[in-house]
Amino acid sequence: MTLQMILALGVLIFMIVLIMADVLPFGAPPLLASLLLVVFQLYPADADPIAYAFAGFTDSNVWMIAFFMVVLAAFQKTSFTARVRSQMFRLAERGGFKGYLLLVLLVMVACALTGGHSTGFYVLILGLVATIPYDKKLPTSKLVMPLGFACFHPVNFAVNFGLCVGILNSAGFATDGVSMTPFIITTLIGCVGYFIWSFVGYRLLPDHAIAVQQEQSEEVAASDLPQWKELVTVACLVASVVGMMFAKQLGDVAYILPGIFAFLLLGIKVVDWQEMRNSLFSPVVLMMCCVIPVANALSDSGFTALVGNMVADAASSMPPFWLTFVFCLLTSACATFTGANFASAYIFVPIVIAACLALGVNPVGPAAASTMAAFAGGFLPIDGLPALVYGWGNYSMKEFWKFTIPMWIINCLFLAIGAMVAF
């Protein structure tokens, strides 16, 4: 390992220790970590140090989410919020724990219908969960984590199939005879793994009010808005969500839509400047901004590639199942550390293919599982969804890891099982 790799890893560990120790306010440790990147010169030679350290503040996804929080804050003042709360809570309360499991399943299916792994979708889901009032029967702290990560486990066969085939083709492996059916089976078995863990993990989650509820507890009751302002607010919310879900089709416009709507709501006085400012620069947004350069430093230092090559060499003599499992762990860990799900798949899946071919093993199954595993991590709050879950859920790092680390291992295990069964 080079000195730069060691220092980058050290900054990450230091940040995690500070978060776990709770010695600084939430959102402060990642900011300090970003500053340390400049101190230790953990940036490419041709990069501007300050721009690199604060790259998260110019990230389009971060600002899209930040402005969406403003729109969401406005939506929480409408009468529609009470209806959403009552419907979601009624569903969960009607069947008790069965209702909770139904909510998890519905989120997974709904995410698949929206295209899978959509930023707009998981922000919407977490925003709606945040509107559910605290109740001892079904604490929202027990919903944020499972429903949030359910957005990373969509029952979406087409996306998984297309992505994996594309990677196989780019690696020079012929895919003419590859069918979608085994991908369907692998995806379903992987989703079953998460569903089982959501059943068990629910009981390990804490019972407390989430961060959003704690902030709102000091506020007066929701404002009585005129009907036309409510309709405008709901329209802004729906348009923002649609824009985020179809960001690839709409291009850059999708990223600024929540900002335009936020200023519209400010102009018609649904939210005031203080509310807008508090949403834009909340600790959750600050954390998202500052973990991005830390993740970039790990990748740019060569640490990720080094670990990948080391594992590839060590796993070359393993049986196909364990080879698949190890590479699932590696791909998902890389995606977690870097926040680059697709990039991690494109980095490690070719290594999987090469290792399988060297062993005389059909690489399609292990490649499929490893591709899907790029979205099966999230055991560190250093990316959009995990950071939002960690912040809004008001979890300690111990509580966060109690759910996410077993989730990570179980996800990879079931994907490996699915690949062995299907291929």
- In the block, tokens 């399609």 appear at 364
The predicted-structure confidence for 324-337, as pLDDT tens digits, reads as follows 998 899 888 877 87
- What Å distances lie between residue 338 and 220, 237, 344, 375, CA to CA? 41, 30, 8, 12
Give the pLDDT score at 220: 39
Question: Where along the chain do its domains lie?
Answer: 3-58, 61-152+223-284, 157-205+298-422
Give the amino acid at 95. Answer: G
Give the pLDDT score at 404: 95
In angstroms, the CA 27 to CA 39 distance is 19
Give the pLDDT score at 97: 76
Half-sphere exposure of 53 (CA within 13 A, CB side): 17
Give the amino acid at 154. Answer: P
The pair of three-digit structure tokens given for residue 35, joined into one six-digit string: 């500053």
Record the pTM: 0.69
In angstroms, the CA 363 to CA 367 distance is 6
Contacts of 156-160 with CB under 8 Å at 24 or more apart are 156/111, 156/112, 156/115, 156/116, 156/187, 157/183, 157/184, 157/187, 159/115, 159/116, 159/117, 160/186, 160/187, 160/368, 160/371, 160/372
Identify whether the C-beta of residue 373 lies closer than 8 Å to the C-beta of residue 332.
yes
Q: Which of 26, 295, 242, 230 shows the shortest CA–CA distance to 114?
A: 242
Q: Is 378 left (phi over 0), alpha (psi -120 to 50) or beta?
A: left
In angstroms, the CA 115 to CA 398 distance is 32
Q: Which of 160, 167, 163 shows the shortest CA–CA distance to 181?
A: 160
Residues with Cβ < 8 Å from 300, sequence gap 6 or more? 42, 43, 44
- What Å distances lie between residue 131 and 50, 85, 207, 220, 257, CA to CA? 37, 6, 16, 15, 22
Residues with Cβ < 8 Å from 147, sequence gap 6 or more? 103, 104, 107, 125, 126, 129
In angstroms, the CA 284 to CA 257 distance is 20
pLDDT (tens place) for every residue of the chain, 423 residues total: 889 999 988 998 888 788 767 788 877 888 899 999 999 999 998 999 999 999 888 888 788 878 988 887 888 788 876 666 666 667 656 656 777 888 888 888 777 655 555 566 677 788 778 777 677 777 888 889 999 999 887 666 666 677 677 777 766 677 777 787 888 899 899 999 999 999 999 989 998 878 766 655 444 344 578 989 999 998 998 888 788 767 767 888 888 999 999 999 999 999 999 989 988 887 768 877 887 788 778 778 887 667 656 766 776 677 889 889 988 998 888 778 766 676 567 667 777 777 777 777 888 899 889 988 988 888 888 777 888 898 888 898 899 999 999 999 999 999 999 999 998
DSSP one-letter code for 268: T
Give the pLDDT score at 24: 83
Residues with Cβ < 8 Å from 100, sequence gap 6 or more? 92, 138, 142, 143, 146, 202
